[in-house]
């Protein structure tokens, strides 16, 4: 059984200002660093074999903070774990984006199915390459929701900054155990 903890990066100034950051490389703020430390504390009761992240600095710094606490180095940055590209909406507030594009169809936005496909490709690759391992992957809310929604039978809530969602892979399929640290009732995963 491969165990995976998907962790959203800590807060950035753009998160605090409700700006859409997407694939823009915005660093953590002090709140985000504190959130990363709290996430590390929540993960400390288990031995972890592998730590990876998105290549965006807010994810790599979150992963490095977690790794320092857990005594494990980040071994790779997976491009497939980078946040969804939001096109022309990046950098503006969610209110401004809604005013300009009320249906959420931002010019040049990366399609949700493409985000799900690459996110699943990344986690499937991790499970295939590291069977039986306990893996931490620090990524982004959009990627985590896309992955969870692809393998779980219910739509996922908003993923909190430094929220921890867990899944396991039995060699055939993923099972979601927690979202944002909240344990789920047993359900059948999608095939």
The answer to whether residue 83 is catalytic is yes
Question: Which residue is catalytic, options 11, 61, 83, 110?
Answer: 83
Q: What is the DSSP string of 54-118?
A: -SSHHHHHHHHHHHHHHT--EEEE-GGGSPPP-GGGTTSBHHHHHHH-TTS--TTPPPHHHHHHH
Packing angle of the helix pair 30-43, 57-70 (nearest 10 deg): 40
Q: Which helix (H) or strand (E) segment is 31 a member of?
A: helix 30-43
Torsion of CA 8, 66, 21, 86, to 10 degrees: -50
Show which residues are catalytic: 9, 83
């Amino acid at each position: 059984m491969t165990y995976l903890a998907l962790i959203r990066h800590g807060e950035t100034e753009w998160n605090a200002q409700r700006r859409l950051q997407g694939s823009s490389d915005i660093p953590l703020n002090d709140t985000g660093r504190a959130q990363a430390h709290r996430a590390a504390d929540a993960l400390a009761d288990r031995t972890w074999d592998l730590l990876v992240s998105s290549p965006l600095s807010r994810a790599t710094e979150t992963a490095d903070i977690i790794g320092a606490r857990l005594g494990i180095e980040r071994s790779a940055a997976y491009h497939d774990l980078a946040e969804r590209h939001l096109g022309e909406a990046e950098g503006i507030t969610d209110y401004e984006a809604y005013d300009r594009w009320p249906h959420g169809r931002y010019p040049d936005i990366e399609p949700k199915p493409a985000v799900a496909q690459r996110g699943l490709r990344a986690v499937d690759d991790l499970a295939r390459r590291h069977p039986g391992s306990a893996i931490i992957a620090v990524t982004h809310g959009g990627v985590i929701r896309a992955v969870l929604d692809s393998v779980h039978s219910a739509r996922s809530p908003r993923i909190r900054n430094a929220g921890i969602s867990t899944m396991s892979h039995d060699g055939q399929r993923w099972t979601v155990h927690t979202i944002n640290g909240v344990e789920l009732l047993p359900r059948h995963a999608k095939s």
